[in-house]
Amino acid sequence: MILYDGTYGWDGKRHGKREPITRFPGSYHLKIFNLDIDSGSVTLLKPFLCVFSETGDGHSMLANPGRFATYVCEDFSLDMERVFWVELREGADEPFEVVFFSKSGKLRDEYFYSMKRRKPTAAERALIEQEMNKLPNG
């Protein structure tokens, strides 16, 4: 089931206690799928699929990818540990890249995350393509 298909952006300003993802405005295309709906009686370890890609507008989230992932999870009520993250790289030989966020530290109430990437397995690629094909323009 598609939970969100749109642009996720930020203005580069602090709002209350919430630090900006980056100090400059930016945005990403974001697609969120709930895989649990289609899984039947199987309980998935990562029931949410988040596919993100650059819009080309503004600053990249790569300055603080952990904050990007944290805010997406907060804004859409997702458990960070249960999200399967994928970057869509238009025009690349391998358009999908699986992204892992691992806690690497904590300062007060904020966790810091390191980011690792790898190519998707054949099964992961099939799942990603299956979900992306459910989109109206898929």
Identify the CA nearest to 83 among candidates 10, 3, 21: 3
Mean pLDDT score of the chain = 90
The structural domains of the chain, with segments of one domain joined by +, span: 2-132
Q: Give tens-digit pLDDT for 76-109.
A: 999 999 999 999 998 888 999 999 998 888 888 8
pLDDT reported for residue 138: 61
**Length in residues, the chain:** 138
Amino acid symbol at 68: F
pLDDT reported for residue 64: 86
Question: Global pTM?
Answer: 0.89
Whether residue 35 is predicted with pLDDT greater than 80 in this model: the reply is yes
pLDDT reported for residue 131: 95
